[in-house]
Amino acid sequence: MHTPGAAPADTASSDTAPSDGAASDAVTATHCPYCALQCGMNLRPEPGGAGVVVEERADFPVNRGALCGKGRSAPAVLSSRVRLTEPLVRTHAGRLEPATWEEALDAVAEGLARTRRTHGADAVGVFGGGGLTNEKAYALGKFARVALRTSQIDYNGRFCMSSAAAAHQRAFGLDRGLPFPLEDIPRTGCVILVGSNPAETMPPALRFFRELRENGGTLIVVDPRRTRTAEQADLHLAPRPGTDLALALGLLHLVVAGGHTDEEFIAGRTSGWEEARAGAMAHWPELVERITGVPVPKLREAVRMFCAPESAMVLTARGPEQQSKGTDTVGAWINLCLATGRAGRPLSGYGCLTGQGNGQGGREHGQKADQLPGYRKLTDPAARAHVAEVWGIDPDDLPGPGRSAYELLDALGSDVKALLLMGSNPVVSAPRAAHVEERIRSLDFLAVADVVLSETAALADVVLPVTQWAEETGTTTNLEGRVLLRRRALTPPPGVRTDLEVLHGLASRLGMPKAFPTAPEEVFDELRRASAGGPADYSGISYARIEAEQGVFWPCPADPPPGETSPGESHPGKADPGETHPGTPRLFLDRFATEDGRARFVPVAHRDAAEMPDAEYPLLLTTGRVVAQYQSGAQTRRVDELNEAAPGPFVELHPRLAARIGAVDGAPLAVTSRRGRAVAPARITDTIRADTVFMPFHWPGEGRANTLTNPALDPVSRMPEFKVCAVRVEPA
């Protein structure tokens, strides 16, 4: 029997670090564990080996040393005072009690195997996270499909940028958050930033927009709130939540009416324009003003600013994407770029500001219900054959596509009886959260691997304590498509293992230990083989290259033939035979990644949100983040200095609305939707529309914003409508 924390010999990590738990003497260059910027930072050992401190890393181009408060305080979550340090197993008395690793892994393996025997493979679900490294995301997808043979796997990244990903695929044939590096933003002529607030969600990125304006460019921000980002803008458009699609169509109408289309680009590099044009012309300015609340003169000014310079960009984030029509909404903004020739050209294009730390890489390599590693489609026979060969199985043994994230959570306790969950906290982060919590509680068996005892982990039958960013080696892929390497800086506490060791231990108990190695670089090399030839081709990327080059942009195939390039990239010098492919920082400059090389216009039309205000629920709720907290708050709510800056939830509302309902600043306010009720202090401000209220979604309990949100799904991306639902508001 192993003591709690003693790793068996066959799962010992290959990472090198001092065995006494202290950091090494050397400074470790690594990356922040939070958002998709993946800012560079250095970790220096504290005197006496007590831990590590964060130092600036000025050489990394994404942040040039700048860090937000979350990044600077990230080592606080490494403390044994706030994190899990031993496995927990629920006893017959209903309490979570410490257990040995052998006992915990035995319990998980038996719980999953018992469910398979009794109810079939698809009665076992797997739910991953957008913060997992590429290696862990790849191994988790492989574990679900090879060890468990289940189709029921998805991840919380579905709640991040799935609508943008689907729109990318429809229009360009390839999905990467940004098809160009962040460094291109200050050099373009105009940026329309839609539903994004980087001043709070990724503060180091705000400098790119400041530099844009310093260089003579203009910034247009589309947001129902006058956020800290909107205050930096040359023009702020404040549409009613849920009307971004109409706004984009109205701008395209004015582009056509004003003669601002790029006919040569449309004819030479696109298809489907006539249908898309007809859809836009049905959305005349006065109609769009009635739908969105944005005055016609502001619509005309936005078109003038966007079309005046030689280059321009549109960047979207969760605002337009987390809607039941998110894919069409993003498609409308892409149509605006294509019609004006602002795509597939230097310093122009459409991009998505991914939110989660590895939201990009996390979906590329097999966590998503319908995808195999390398961004291959699970329904493609050739893709199945390739990946099955790498995995050493018959392609027919691979299950087909499963449920999307919310649909999987909604099926818990009914079709799906057992769940293995890694790196996610859906009790706080999922829409209609009270219902999701009820579904989780109804499971026959729940195992959670996490760093902290999150609200979801507290409901588990077995909790497995796993390592964090500074305690393990692995790669992530940031919002630019830049593959990065985090190096292990210190040894984890004795009772903690890596997720790769957890999967190896479970696979061993299920009869296939050799298929799941524990060394991150070994897993990455297998990932490279599995991705080879796929849209997200990592086969030409190695740990050594990443370190030497400050990251490598995918696609990056291994040793292309002479003169051959990756989809859409123009290189100053073509790679010679035997040379390593240079990576692809800029996509689509020569051709788009479609079969004919042309971008596709997709005709779209405005439609209402799934839930509109009425007499009973007369207001609109929108949700978002604050600068000092992150996602479900499972980690940041354990950091004192972040809690001092953002101690709890609030309801933001306009003074006119406050006066009408008798709300007092700081007093409890009840927000009720058709799904439940949340209570939080009022924050009265004139920076929000009078028909809209805002709540941040980082907290559990009675202030849980996602108790209210609507799980209505986009028909293409299966994204829930987090960003708009009907509510009523009254003093509590």
The pTM (predicted TM-score) of the whole model is: 0.93
Phi first, then psi: what are they for 712, rounded to 5°? -55, 130
Q: Is the pLDDT of residue 470 over 50?
A: yes
Q: Is the pLDDT of residue 6 over 80?
A: no
pLDDT (0 to 100) of residue 566 = 46
For residues 60 and 77, what is the distance between their CA atoms, to the nearest angstrom?
24
Is residue 222 within 8 A of residue 234, CB to CB? The reply is: no
Q: Is the pLDDT of residue 333 over 90?
A: yes
Total length of the chain: 732
Tell me the residue ranges of DSSP E strands in 376-452. 376-377, 418-422, 445-450
For residues 591 and 614, what is the distance between their CA atoms, to the nearest angstrom?
47
For residues 32 and 52, what is the distance between their CA atoms, to the nearest angstrom?
13
Is residue 109 within 8 A of residue 463, CB to CB? The reply is: no
For residues 618 and 418, what is the distance between their CA atoms, to the nearest angstrom?
40
* 223-246 pLDDT, tens digit each: 999 999 999 999 999 999 999 999
DSSP string, 286-343: HHHHHHH---HHHHHHHHHHHHSSS--EEEE-HHHHSSTTHHHHHHHHHHHHHHTT-S
* 705-722 pLDDT, tens digit each: 999 999 999 999 999 999
* 619-676 pLDDT, tens digit each: 999 999 999 999 999 999 999 999 999 999 999 999 999 999 999 999 999 999 999 9
Measured CA to CA in angstroms, residue 574 lies from 5, 571, 706 at distances of 51, 6, 50
* 566-603 pLDDT, tens digit each: 444 433 333 333 348 999 999 999 999 999 999 999 99
* 413-437 pLDDT, tens digit each: 999 999 999 999 999 999 999 999 9
Contacts of 333 (CB under 8 A, 6+ apart): 192, 194, 248, 314, 316, 320, 350
Please provide the average confidence, as pLDDT, over all residues in the chain.
93
> Residue 460: helix, strand or coil by DSSP?
coil
Contacts of 207 (CB under 8 A, 6+ apart): 64, 66
Q: Which residues pair with 315 in a beta bridge?
A: 193, 351
What confidence tier does 295 reach under pLDDT thresholds 50, 70, 90? very high
Q: Nearest CA to 247 among 262, 237, 259?
A: 237
pLDDT (0 to 100) of residue 391 = 97
Tell me the residue ranges of DSSP E strands in 18-152. 28-31, 40-45, 52-56, 88-90, 96-98, 124-128
Phi first, then psi: what are they for 324, rounded to 5°? -70, -5
pLDDT (0 to 100) of residue 49 = 72
What confidence tier does 560 reach under pLDDT thresholds 50, 70, 90? low
User: Greater confidence, 102 or 161?
Assistant: 102
Amino acid code (one letter) for 257: A
Contacts of 348 (CB under 8 A, 6+ apart): 188, 311, 312, 313, 337, 341, 342
Alpha-carbon dihedral 475, 478, 480, 482, rounded to 10 degrees: -10
